[in-house]
């Protein structure tokens, strides 16, 4: 099996920078994707292919990847950014699996 | 705009079967791969299965392999998930999601309980 590892929680004050990491062996070869999920809602794609932002996603959300780690950065976090964030990727096997990280609860207070 | 609407969820006894459907609109359904993703109550997201745009390839999570079958009818713009031999641990909200995934439905709740 394949796993992506995220910290369970990150906490920042409004206006600070939040960084959420995601580690996995295949991230050196495969793209990372990031999803934001607010309570009771479906997930929303916020970063694709490591560092691209879909239309409508604020510029303060950005992504990067280096080696086996991907990072979601929220610069100048706002109260409305408080949510669960999940990374997502695939392994590099011939019988591929797609996996989500365990999720990170971002608290902005 | 892209719309994905799941249906077919409900309460089912362990060992029984259920079929979920996902009606797609607002895009060319036959051009995109589709996924099922689930979320158990209070837990994280779990990828379940993916099907290629033309149905030629299908992949499953180990937790459902041999019990669940993903399929699609491109003439009806509909995605399916046939779930057999259901277990209590299959209780979750099941989402259909397009491609990456980039668009998600609102989900349908499946509860496996006696």
Q: What is the mean pLDDT of chain B?
A: 97
Cβ neighbours, 10 Å, residue B24: 24
Spell out which residues of chain B touch residue A102, defining contact as CB-CB under 8 Å.
44
Spell out which residues of chain A touch residue B37, defining contact as CB-CB under 8 Å.
100
Q: Kindly tell me if the per-residue pLDDT of A7 is higher than 90.
A: yes
Residues A45, B101: C-beta atoms closer than 8 Å: yes
Residues A97, B45: C-beta atoms closer than 8 Å: no
Supply the pLDDT for residue B55. 96
**Cβ–Cβ < 8 Å for B99, B32:** yes
Q: Kindly tell me if the per-residue pLDDT of A94 is higher than 80.
A: no
Band of the pLDDT at A42, cuts 50, 70, 90?
A: very high
Q: Kindly tell me if the per-residue pLDDT of B92 is higher than 90.
A: yes
Band of the pLDDT at A5, cuts 50, 70, 90?
A: very high
Residue with token string 């979320």? B39
Residues A43, B102: C-beta atoms closer than 8 Å: no
Supply the pLDDT for residue A95. 78
């Amino acid at each position: 099996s394949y796993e992506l590892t995220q910290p369970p929680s990150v906490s920042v004050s409004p206006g600070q920078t939040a960084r959420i990491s995601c580690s996995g062996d295949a991230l050196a070869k495969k793209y990372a994707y990031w999803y934001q999920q607010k309570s009771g809602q479906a997930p929303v794609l916020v970063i694709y292919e490591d560092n691209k932002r879909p239309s409508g996603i604020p510029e303060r959300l950005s992504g990067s990847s280096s080696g086996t780690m991907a990072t979601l950065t929220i610069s100048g976090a706002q109260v409305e950014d408080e949510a669960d964030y999940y990374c997502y990727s695939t392994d590099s096997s011939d019988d591929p699996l797609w996996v989500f990280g365990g999720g990170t609860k971002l608290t902005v207070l | 705009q892209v719309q994905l609407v799941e249906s077919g969820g409900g309460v089912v006894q362990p060992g029984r079967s259920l079929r979920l459907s996902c009606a797609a609109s607002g895009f060319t359904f036959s051009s995109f791969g589709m996924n099922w993703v689930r979320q158990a109550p209070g837990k994280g997201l779990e990828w379940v299965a993916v099907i290629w745009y033309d149905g030629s390839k299908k992949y499953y999570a180990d937790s459902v392999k041999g019990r669940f079958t993903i399929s699609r009818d491109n003439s009806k713009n509909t995605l399916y998930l046939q779930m057999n031999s259901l277990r209590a641990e299959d209780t979750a909200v099941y989402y259909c999601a397009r491609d990456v995934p980039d668009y998600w439905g609102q989900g349908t709740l499946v509860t496996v309980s006696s």
